[in-house]
C-alpha cells in the first residue's frame, strides 16, 4: 500500500499544498521545528483512522480563520489507484472514494492503512486503559468487518442496558433480553481481541530482541472480565446473573469489554513499573513493526509506516536496527529536524525539505 499524492486545503498550517510521494520509498520530512512536518504525518494518519492523534477538537485541524478543511489523497493498493477525500465543515465530515460519497465511516477507515509512531505514544504503557483499548479497536476495525459490527453493537447494547438500569423498575424480560444479546456480541469482541494479542506476541518474540540485544523478553497480556480459556458465553451469563442486583443498585453495567486492558510485561514485570524510557521506546517500535507484519499477513500488503520524530531519541545503534527491520517494499514517512544519519542500503530515499508556508504557498523542496 502506498500514498502517491496528498493535497491539504486549509489543514493546520497548510492553506493549499500538494505533495507527491514515491511508492515503496523512505520519505524523510526534514525541517526545523514548527515548520509543519508533523501536520503532514497527522493528515496521513487522519485519512487512515478518521481521528487525529493530537487533538479531539476538529477545529484545531482547521487553518486559523477558515471555516473548513479538506484532505485529498491518492493511494495505491493491489495495483489500483484510488482517490480519497475528506471534507470537514460545520462539525460534519464528508467522505468520498473515487469521487463518490461514502455513507459510513467503516467503508472508509483503513482504505489507506497507516501505522503511526509518535512521541505521544510514550504514555501508552502508563496511561489509562482506554488508550490500549483504543489501540486494539483502531487496528481491528481496519482489519475485520465482523469485529467492527460486533463492537458497534456491543457499545449500543451497553448504552441500552445502562439506560434500563437507571430506571426505578426496569422490565425484567427486557433487561434479560438485552443482557443475552450483550453476551453474544462481547464473545465475538473478546475472541478477536485475544487472537490479535496472540499474533502480536508471536511477532514481538521476533522484533523486540533485536532492540534489546536478546537479553530481555516482552509479552502482552490481554485482561478481560472472563477467562478466555473457558467458555465465554457461559461465564458471562453466570456473571451477569450474580451481579444483576449490584448493577441495578449502581445503575451501570460494572463488567464488560469496556473495562478491558493490555498489560505489557518486560521479563515478567509490568513495563509501566520497571521499563526505562529507552526500553519503552524499543517496545513501542517492536509493537508497531509487529502490527505492520500482521497487516501484511491479513491483507497481503504492508501499511504506510509513519515515524514522527523517532530518531531524535534513538542512539545510532537502535536507529540502524530500526532501518534494517523495515521491509524493503514498505513506504515509510520519517520526520526529522536534522539530516538523518543512517545506512539505508539500496532503498530509495526521498528527502522533503519542509518550510512554513509563506503567502499561502508551501516552501518544500525534494531531493532523492
What per-residue confidence (pLDDT) applies to 357?
66
What per-residue confidence (pLDDT) applies to 362?
47
Is pLDDT above 50 for 197? yes
- Whole-number mean pLDDT of the chain? 93
Q: How far is CA 250 from the centre of its chain?
A: 33
Residues 6+ apart with CB under 8 A from 154: 182, 185, 186, 189, 256, 257
For range 228-257, the mean pLDDT: 97
Is pLDDT above 90 for 103? no
Q: What would the grid cell of residue 283 be?
A: 517496545
> Per the annotation, does 34 bind a ligand?
yes
What per-residue confidence (pLDDT) applies to 251?
96
CB 272 within 8 A of CB 125: yes
Alpha-carbon distance 44 to 67, whole Å? 21
CATH numbers and ranges of domains, the chain? 1-113+303-368 (3.40.50.300), 124-300 (1.20.1050.90)
Lowest mean pLDDT among 49-53, 237-241, 259-263: 49-53
| Residue scoring higher pLDDT (343 or 362) | 343
For range 337-354, the mean pLDDT: 90
What per-residue confidence (pLDDT) applies to 106?
86
Model confidence band, residue 91 (pLDDT cutoffs 50, 70, 90): confident
What per-residue confidence (pLDDT) applies to 116?
96
What per-residue confidence (pLDDT) applies to 58?
84
Alpha-carbon distance 288 to 249, whole Å? 42
Task: List, as one string, the DSSP characters of 157-214.
Answer: HHHHHHHHHTSSS--HHHHHHHHHHHHHHHHHHHHHHHHHHHHHHHHHHHHHHHHHTT
In this predicted model, what pLDDT tens digit does every residue of 113-141 receive, in sequence order? Answer: 999 999 889 899 999 999 999 999 999 99
Model confidence band, residue 355 (pLDDT cutoffs 50, 70, 90): confident
Is pLDDT above 70 for 360? no
> Per the annotation, does 35 bind a ligand?
yes
CA angle 254, 256, 261 (to 5 degrees): 110
Is pLDDT above 60 for 61? yes
Model confidence band, residue 359 (pLDDT cutoffs 50, 70, 90): low
> Per the annotation, does 219 bind a ligand?
no
| Residue scoring higher pLDDT (364 or 53) | 53
What per-residue confidence (pLDDT) applies to 366?
45
In this predicted model, what pLDDT tens digit does every residue of 128-175 receive, in sequence order? Answer: 999 999 999 999 999 999 999 999 999 999 999 999 999 988 999 999
Model confidence band, residue 300 (pLDDT cutoffs 50, 70, 90): very high
What per-residue confidence (pLDDT) applies to 282?
93
> Per the annotation, does 342 bind a ligand?
no
> Per the annotation, does 37 bind a ligand?
yes
Q: Is the pTM of this model over 0.75?
A: yes
Distance between terminal CA atoms of the chain? 21
Alpha-carbon distance 232 to 187, whole Å? 6
R_g (Cα) of the chain, nearest Å: 22
What per-residue confidence (pLDDT) applies to 315?
87
| Residue scoring higher pLDDT (11 or 342) | 11
What per-residue confidence (pLDDT) applies to 367?
42
In eight-state DSSP terms, residue 332 is E
In this predicted model, what pLDDT tens digit does every residue of 256-268 receive, in sequence order? Answer: 999 999 999 999 9
> Per the annotation, does 36 bind a ligand?
yes
What sign for the dihedral angle of Cα 234, 237, 243, 245?
negative
Model confidence band, residue 358 (pLDDT cutoffs 50, 70, 90): low
Amino acid at each position: 500500500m502506498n500514498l502517491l499524492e496528498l493535497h491539504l486545503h486549509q489543514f493546520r498550517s497548510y492553506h493549499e499544498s500538494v505533495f507527491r510521494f514515491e511508492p515503496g520509498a523512505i520519505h524523510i520530512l526534514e525541517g526545523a521545528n514548527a515548520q509543519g512536518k508533523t501536520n503532514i504525518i497527522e493528515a496521513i494518519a487522519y485519512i487512515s483512522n478518521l481521528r487525529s492523534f493530537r487533538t479531539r477538537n476538529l477545529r484545531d485541524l482547521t487553518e486559523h480563520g477558515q471555516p473548513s478543511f479538506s484532505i485529498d489523497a491518492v493511494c495505491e493498493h493491489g495495483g489500483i489507484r484510488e482517490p480519497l477525500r475528506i471534507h470537514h465543515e460545520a462539525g460534519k465530515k464528508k467522505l468520498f472514494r473515487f469521487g463518490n460519497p461514502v455513507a459510513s465511516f467503516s467503508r472508509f477507515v483503513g482504505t489507506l492503512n497507516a501505522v503511526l509512531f509518535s512521541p505521544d505514544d510514550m504514555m501508552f504503557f502508563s496511561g489509562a486503559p482506554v488508550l490500549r483499548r483504543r489501540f486494539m479497536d483502531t487496528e481491528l476495525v481496519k482489519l475485520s468487518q465482523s469485529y467492527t459490527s460486533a463492537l458497534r453493537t456491543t457499545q449500543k447494547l451497553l448504552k441500552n442496558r445502562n439506560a434500563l438500569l437507571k430506571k426505578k423498575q426496569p422490565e425484567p424480560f427486557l433487561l434479560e433480553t438485552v443482557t443475552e444479546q450483550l453476551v453474544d456480541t462481547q464473545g465475538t469482541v473478546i475472541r478477536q481481541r485475544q487472537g490479535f494479542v496472540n499474533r502480536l506476541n508471536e511477532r514481538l518474540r521476533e522484533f523486540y530482541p533485536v532492540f534489546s540485544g536478546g537479553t530481555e523478553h516482552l509479552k502482552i497480556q490481554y485482561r478481560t472480565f472472563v477467562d478466555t480459556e473457558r467458555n465465554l458465553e457461559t461465564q458471562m451469563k453466570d456473571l451477569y446473573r450474580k451481579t444483576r442486583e449490584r448493577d441495578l443498585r449502581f445503575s451501570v453495567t460494572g463488567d464488560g469489554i469496556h473495562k478491558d486492558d493490555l498489560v505489557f510485561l518486560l521479563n515478567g514485570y509490568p513495563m509501566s513499573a520497571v521499563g526505562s524510557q529507552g526500553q519503552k521506546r524499543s517496545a513501542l517500535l517492536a509493537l508497531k513493526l509487529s502490527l505492520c507484519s500482521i497487516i501484511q499477513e491479513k491483507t497481503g500488503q504492508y501499511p504506510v509506516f509513519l515515524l514522527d520524530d523517532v530518531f531524535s531519541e534513538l542512539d545510532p545503534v537502535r536507529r540502524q536496527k530500526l532501518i534494517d527491520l523495515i521491509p524493503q517494499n514498505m513506504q515509510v514517512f520519517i520526520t526529522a529536524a536534522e539530516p538523518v544519519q543512517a545506512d539505508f542500503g539500496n532503498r530509495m530515499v526521498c528527502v522533503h525539505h519542509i518550510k512554513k508556508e509563506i503567502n499561502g504557498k508551501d516552501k518544500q523542496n525534494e531531493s532523492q
